[in-house]
A and B are shown apart, each in its own frame.
Chain A
Amino acid sequence: MQQDRTLPAEESSPATLPPIPGVDPASIHHPTGTIDESIRLALYRMQVRMRLFEKRAYDLFLQGLVKGTSHLSLGMEAIAAGFGVAMNADDWTFATYRGHAHTLARGSDMAATLGELLGRANGLLKGKGGSMHLTDAARGMLGSYAIVGAHLPIALGAAWSSQYRESGQVAVCFFGDGATNIGAFHEALNLAAVWKAPVVYVCENNQYMEYTPIAAVTAVERPAAGRAQAYGLAPIVIDGNDVEAVYLTALEVLGRARRGEGPSLVEALTYRHGGHSRADPGTYRPQPELETWLQRDPIPAQRALLLGDGVDAATLDAIDAEAAAEVESATEAARAAPPPGRDELLADMWADGGARWRN
């Protein structure tokens, strides 16, 4: 786990991301368009909040305060931020067990999100879901799913509901490269295409299926985009560490979905700074590969870009400081919160608020 890499040495970062190792640059989709400065700063702010939040979550784990497991998306923030900023407030997010960033992306309260990791009563799920199941339905965060691939059909169902009710909402479903080899992926993609459902599937290809290189267990080079054609979809591969490219791509595919043009499948290339989960130091990854990707850290890269375009360092520093203060206060609130009460144990299995199975 590379926990010391919070907001590294931005001034020395190049203003454009180095090429993605081992990938033909011509195969990468480069969306065009300009982004308002306020939105560029929103993208930056969101990434920084995600980074500092997860770094804190890791520290609290080391202190024994975060129990169980959790899966960090350090290094992958650009995808969650790019889509999060592009989505409408009433669109829906379906995420994986690596879902902290996607939850924050929908505007969920940081203290409640952290409280959930700590198993506290103030948690988003009152401590009953934990890190792998973060959900904030009121903000369109319709869940983090811990069985790989399961949420692809569920997101399709939400899209079907939007289509049926003609509500214009889009379901955005994030999943890892590992999910592309499970049956639910293929069932969902096929039916989404048949129904022309307003759903966007986003593969966060961080190159590793848990501990195994995805290339070692996948028949095609691009685990998601390489399957797109089978479902009549365009293969879209993007640089998942380029937050502005992610944002512009998100606008494109969300627009397609909203116009009734059907689903999209986006493969965003990225990399975890750490291991698969808390139990995993990630030592199976070659050091040069890791180093290359650390040079492609999305946050300093965007910072360099913004500075190059004339944004004041002070503006960005203020965003960093605000995020750090938010994390501090969230930590205090979560640590001060009590554990869930005994009455939570048998609450909310049924709509009547209880769990009775007999009379």
Chain B
Amino acid sequence: VAELTYRDAVTRAIAQEMARDDTVVFIGEDVAAAGGVFKATPGLLETFGSRRVVDTPISEQAIIGAVMGAAMTGLRPIAEIMFSDFFGVCWDMIANQIAKARYMTAGQVALPLVIRTGNGAGLRFGAQHSQSVENWAMAIPGVKVVAPSTAEDVIGLFAAAVRDPDPVLFFEHKALYPVKYEVPDGEIVDALGTAKVLRRGGDATILALAAMVPRALAAADALESTGIEATVVDVRSLVPLDTQTILGEAAATGRVFTVEENPRLLGWGAEVVSIIAEECFWDLDGPIVRITTPHIPLPAADALEDLAIPSAELIAETIQKALR
């Protein structure tokens, strides 16, 4: 067991997979010599060399196009898009090209690739460097979508993503990079499409993702003193979606709350809630409640950003009110 930050876990995850398989290559802006703008990839260049760890120009279409072409022809490439907001300049490559290639060609083309990106708010970067866009990705048939909340999950889910035969978008949460976790030694490999139940309580089920997971856990702790026992589920993977776990935990308490960093309209919870409403409506004891960021571009000022993103206090308060 080692103490590891979430950002160190990213480095360890990439190194684990590159050491195992020499078809794994890694490209992106500032990822090699500089070790990443979030210092999530230091030392990889030194360990694996400049053929496998490659700095690119600021050319997101070229980066994503290149990993697509490389994946079609026998490599298992990893691309970094520095901020997930920058998906905006390469969605064509992701949504029109990568996501559709296998289906459109009736299975002729395989795309075992991973696009990892810094997602989410908390760094006071303002509206163009703070978004949570995993819900955009979730809306595109043909890509898998993962968002880990702990260092161990970073390693395990990243390994699963690299080994997966299909394209995976891997959303790392920027605000979690400096957070320390205990991580087991040795190789860690997890499974995509699996949610994790982090604690169980009989009164409410909280579904959360990425940086909202520690806040949901803090809220559950706070609720305990008011006599409310909450289950917390880390959804982890939006595509594939672990509906078995989600529906089971929803039915077990009958009261469901989602905690989403996405803006309100069509955040990932909207789809999850609709599945719950359709498939376990009669197990519910009250309305499902979504706790989200307001439907606004994110403000930069710390005072405003803190107001925008669901806090542990807001989560606890909302649940308490709903269960009253």
Contacts and interface: CB of A to CB of B under 8 A. Distances in A.
B142 interface: yes
A158 B72 contact: yes
B73 A161 contact: yes
A143 B102 CA distance: 11
A161 B68 CA distance: 10
Nearest to A192: B62
Closest 9 CB pairs of A and B: A157-B69, A153-B65, A351-B165, A157-B66, A187-B62, A348-B107, A187-B59, A158-B69, A161-B73
A359 interface: yes
A153 B51 contact: no
Interface stretch (A127-135, A215-223, A304-312): A127-135
A187 B4 CA distance: 37
A184 B62 CA distance: 7
A156 interface: yes
Interface in B60-91: 61-75, 77
Contacts of B77: 157
Interface size class of chain A, counting residues whose CB lies under 8 Å from the partner chain: 35 or more
Nearest to A344: B106
Nearest to B138: A357
Contact of B106 (A126, A142, A188): A126
Interface string B234-245: 000001111110
A119 to B, nearest CB: 13
Given A153-B62, A157-B65, A357-B240, A133 B105 contact: yes
Given A136-B108, A138-B108, A188-B65, A358 B240 contact: yes
A160 B72 CA distance: 11
Interface stretch (A7-15, A25-33, A144-152, A264-272): A144-152
Contacts of B104: 125, 128-129, 133, 135
B103 A348 contact: yes
Interface string B148-168: 000000000000000011100
Contacts of A145: 97
B21 to A, nearest CB: 13
B259 to A, nearest CB: 20
A353 B108 CA distance: 11
B61 A348 contact: no
Nearest to A156: B66
Contacts of A159: 69
B25, B70, B141 — most chain A CB neighbours (10 Å): B70
A347 interface: yes
Contact of B141 (A142, A151, A355): A355
A347 B103 CA distance: 7
B320 interface: no
B239 A171 contact: no
A308 to B, nearest CB: 42
Contacts of A352: 165
Contacts of B103: 128, 348-349, 355
B56 interface: yes
Contacts of A183: 61
B86 to A, nearest CB: 13
Contacts of A160: 66, 69-70
A146 B73 CA distance: 20
A349 B68 CA distance: 16
B175 interface: no
A357 B54 CA distance: 33
Given A147-B96, A161-B74, A351-B102, A154 B65 contact: yes
